Structure 1
Amino acid sequence: MASGIQRAEPEITKPTSVPGASMNGQAHLITLRLLKGFTLAVGHTRIPVCSSIQRLLTFLALQDMPRSRAYVAGILWPDVAASRANANLRSSLWRVTRMGHPVIDVSTRELTLSRHITVDLHEAIARAHRLLDSARPCDDILTMQTLANLSADLLPEWPENDWMLIEQEQYHQLRLYALEAMTERLTSARRYGEAVAAGLAAVRTEPLRESAHRVLVKAHLAAGNRGAALRQFEQCRRILREELGLEPSPSLRSLLPPRAEHSRQSRLQPTST
């Protein structure tokens, strides 16, 4: 199936007002948050959403094109007959209309998430692709909001199913590479504290990922904190040894002065008596 994460990079645009009716008749923004957990909100008000509608909105948000009703029904209810799946979809769409907010564009044959809805995942993906494109400047997105989005996985507590597992893993890998790229960009900009925070987010997400440890060590060294760099190297070495029986690669070892690494090893060895 087509994936919202595999599609071409979307542009980051400011959300437009939509007819999410308010008490005073003013339009409110509709936002859909899929990072960390599911939240649908109109303005600052969270909207209660049943599980079937959550699955439907999430699936449509992950698509890069309108989908036929039959396709959506077959993906979301794969273990029942087509007639039952279609009936389940009709029931979910009826519940959506009862919500009173324009969240799905419905035609006789196709469904798509309303183009007026702002989705946090879409913005996070766009920013990740920008960070990974070395030819593009990124000063405007080297922010705490970008770090927060890239530090969160896609609906990590949802029940496992085939279509969601694929999407979750794709975003998980994308955000790891983006966190490493963000660490390197912040280091180059001499924003060392933020660079270390981004590097720690990458290491915390995947402790066995040597490339995450590498960019973090480089951030510490650029800041002049050789002791912190050496401690991070030793943490990486210990984890790789205990979990995988491996040693750090030569490219990681080469970042540290040989004398400093040798001194650290000597202190770790037991003293003979």
Structure 2
Amino acid sequence: MLHLNLLGAITLSDEDGHQVRLPARKEEALLAFLATENSHAHSRESLMGLLWPDSPPDKARLSLRVNLSTLKKRLKPLNADGLLSTSSLEIRFCADQCVLDIVKFNQLLRSGDGHAHRRDELCDQCFLPFARAVDLYRGAFLDGFYVDGCQAYEEWLFMQRERFRVLHLDALEKLTDYHQRRSHLETALAYARRQLEVDPLREPAHQRIMQIHLAQGDRAAALRQYERCRAVLEDELGLAPSIEIQELHQQIQARPTAQATAAILPVRTSAPSGQVNLPVYLTPFIGRQDELDLLAARIHQGTYRLISLVGAGGMGKTRLVVEAARRQVDHFADGVYFAPLASVEQAQDVADALASSLGVTFRAAERTAQDQLLDWLRPRHLLLVIDNFEHLVAATPLLLAILHTAPQVTLLITSREPLRVQAEDLIHLTGLPVPTSDDLAAVGKAAAARLFVDRAYRVDKSFRLNAD
């Protein structure tokens, strides 16, 4: 069976390990896209727009046909004729005909689903699959690969790289925690260092290494790690280490070696420690359980970190995202924030508005508000709810810059119109279902009716739902 690896440089090999060369970049781009997005067939028109956006339709159609034909010819000697299923309208990658590293990677990371422990922990049954998963990660998704003149493809490529990068780092953090809690200190140290190889600015990994060195009785190494952390943050971002790391550093300095090792216990970096500035409502949240479940699933899945809830005015978008965000507080170490933009008139003011909601104060007059905001967000793991974005779509590049710069930030947007970018996961919100039954008990169970009764009762305490 054919083996296709997309983590690291793209490689295609037969079951004996002999690699197949794909000399044309568009062939590689086409194969990688179809393999990654293998859950459904893709129209030829969509692929033409993705890889030949500036070509006339006839020329783009011919280019797709030629590249597809050449690709199938290269696969035929490998007994992989069934890898690509084609028709006059659609093309589909048949994942069951190939060993695909990203499929195996995702399967291994789902091995802990359903286990009776926290999502941010590993048990003795799921730690080994996670170790196998991180070993599959040979490098960034399609490392070094690019396609000139294909903005939509490059945007898709960026999102995939970030998705797998975040999954990889999360797995390394869980493995570090697993081994540290069991006093497998050398193994824990190795996994923490692997985190820094991927992201040298990852503060929780620096903190872990300091704690592990202390547990090993090496106070000097812990202090050296702090200096490395301080230097890289200062050089790259102009920032000081987090309050938690500074406090740990002060505790180490203030105690003799033995006391420091005994007294400073590992801090769970995955525990929620951030701020929450969500608005508080005086009325209960009613209904929308399906939508809440959907939003929670999309946020946890991590495939998209820009989630837009789109609907007409008055549909309850704001209340829904606030309730959804409130239920995510335990999952974002640096907090859950709400940024209302209804009063912001110009796109160039969005960065300042977001900073205000995040509690960020800009100091360097010579640097733009956007640059300072991005610097502040980069090392943080947080959920940012941005409300009423429909009149500020010109600021969409700022949102994309946040996704690019801050790989642990998730954006949840409300808008009357979609942003229409590939990085966006779109959820449409409609009105609550209206009960059609005449049965009073059935009507009383409907969310729309319960919401109406609650609001009416707040106006008139004598109001009761009746058959009239």
TM-score (norm 2): 0.46
1:45 counterpart SS class: coil
Q: 1:198 aligns with which of 191, 200, 205?
A: 191
Task: Tell me what 1:35 maps to.
Answer: 7
- Residue 229 of structure 1 deviates from its aligned partner by 2.5
Instruction: Tell me how far apart the structure 2 counterparts of residues 257 and 263 of structure 1 sit (CA, whole Å).
Output: 12
Are the structure 2 counterparts of residues 170 and 117 from structure 1 closer, same or farther at C-alpha, using a change threshold of 3 Å? same
How many residues of Structure 1 are paired with residues of Structure 2 in the alignment? 235
TM-score (norm 1): 0.75
Instruction: Tell me how far apart the structure 1 counterparts of residues 121 and 228 of structure 2 sit (CA, whole Å).
Output: 33
Q: Are residue 46 (structure 1) and residue 19 (structure 2) matched?
A: yes
Instruction: Tell me how far apart the structure 2 counterparts of residues 175 and 35 of structure 1 sit (CA, whole Å).
Output: 11
- State the Cα deviation string for residues 89-119 of structure 1 (Å, max 9, x = none): 1112211221202331223432222222111
Q: Are residue 233 (structure 1) and residue 221 (structure 2) matched?
A: no
Once the two structures are overlaid, the 10-residue window that deviates more, 48-57 or 183-192, is 183-192
Are the structure 2 counterparts of residues 122 and 262 from structure 1 closer, same or farther at C-alpha, using a change threshold of 3 Å? same
**8 Å contact from structure 1 (residues 31, 117) kept in 2:** yes
Task: Tell me what 1:114 maps to.
Answer: 94
**8 Å contact from structure 1 (residues 34, 121) kept in 2:** yes
Q: 1:154 aligns with which of 141, 144, 150?
A: 141
Instruction: Tell me how far apart the structure 2 counterparts of residues 96 and 150 of structure 1 sit (CA, whole Å).
Output: 26
Instruction: Tell me how far apart the structure 1 counterparts of residues 34 and 179 of structure 2 sit (CA, whole Å).
Output: 34
1:46 counterpart SS class: coil
Are the structure 2 counterparts of residues 80 and 216 from structure 1 closer, same or farther at C-alpha, using a change threshold of 3 Å? farther
Are the structure 2 counterparts of residues 230 and 125 from structure 1 closer, same or farther at C-alpha, using a change threshold of 3 Å? farther
Once the two structures are overlaid, the 10-residue window that deviates more, 127-136 or 66-75, is 127-136
Higher relative CO (Cα under 8 Å, sequence separation at least 6) belongs to: 1
- State the Cα deviation string for residues 35-71 of structure 1 (Å, max 9, x = none): 2201001111111213222111100122132212221
Instruction: Tell me how far apart the structure 1 counterparts of residues 110 and 33 of structure 2 sit (CA, whole Å).
Output: 21
Q: Are residue 172 (structure 1) and residue 165 (structure 2) matched?
A: yes
Instruction: Tell me how far apart the structure 2 counterparts of residues 208 and 150 of structure 1 sit (CA, whole Å).
Output: 20
Instruction: Tell me how far apart the structure 1 counterparts of residues 182 and 40 of structure 2 sit (CA, whole Å).
Output: 38
Instruction: Tell me how far apart the structure 2 counterparts of residues 151 and 217 of structure 1 sit (CA, whole Å).
Output: 27
Are the structure 2 counterparts of residues 127 and 187 from structure 1 closer, same or farther at C-alpha, using a change threshold of 3 Å? farther
- In structure 1, give the amino acid aligned to 2:67: S
Instruction: Tell me how far apart the structure 1 counterparts of residues 171 and 40 of structure 2 sit (CA, whole Å).
Output: 25
- Residue 79 of structure 1 deviates from its aligned partner by 2.0
**8 Å contact from structure 1 (residues 187, 222) kept in 2:** no
2:4 counterpart SS class: strand
Instruction: Tell me how far apart the structure 1 counterparts of residues 104 and 69 of structure 2 sit (CA, whole Å).
Output: 29
2:7 counterpart SS class: coil
Instruction: Tell me how far apart the structure 1 counterparts of residues 245 and 239 of structure 2 sit (CA, whole Å).
Output: 13
Q: Are residue 90 (structure 1) and residue 65 (structure 2) matched?
A: yes
- State the Cα deviation string for residues 121-175 of structure 1 (Å, max 9, x = none): 22223444557933664222243x4333346211221125232122222222332
- Residue 237 of structure 1 deviates from its aligned partner by 1.2
Are the structure 2 counterparts of residues 59 and 228 from structure 1 closer, same or farther at C-alpha, using a change threshold of 3 Å? same
Task: Tell me what 1:105 maps to.
Answer: 85
Instruction: Tell me how far apart the structure 2 counterparts of residues 231 and 189 of structure 1 sit (CA, whole Å).
Output: 24
**8 Å contact from structure 2 (residues 4, 100) kept in 1:** yes
Q: 1:134 aligns with which of 95, 105, 120?
A: 120
Q: Are residue 217 (structure 1) and residue 210 (structure 2) matched?
A: yes
2:12 counterpart SS class: strand
- Residue 259 of structure 1 deviates from its aligned partner by 4.7
Aligned 1:8-27 pairs, distance under 5 A: none
Identity of aligned residues (%): 27
- Residue 224 of structure 1 deviates from its aligned partner by 4.1
Q: CA RMSD in A?
A: 2.7
Q: Are residue 62 (structure 1) and residue 42 (structure 2) matched?
A: no
Aligned 1:69-80 pairs, distance under 5 A: 69-80=44-55
Instruction: Tell me how far apart the structure 1 counterparts of residues 68 and 84 of structure 2 sit (CA, whole Å).
Output: 8
Instruction: Tell me how far apart the structure 2 counterparts of residues 171 and 261 of structure 1 sit (CA, whole Å).
Output: 40
Instruction: Tell me how far apart the structure 1 counterparts of residues 138 and 217 of structure 2 sit (CA, whole Å).
Output: 26
**8 Å contact from structure 2 (residues 6, 32) kept in 1:** yes
- State the Cα deviation string for residues 15-46 of structure 1 (Å, max 9, x = none): xxxxxxxxxxxxxx211011220100111111
Are the structure 2 counterparts of residues 177 and 134 from structure 1 closer, same or farther at C-alpha, using a change threshold of 3 Å? closer
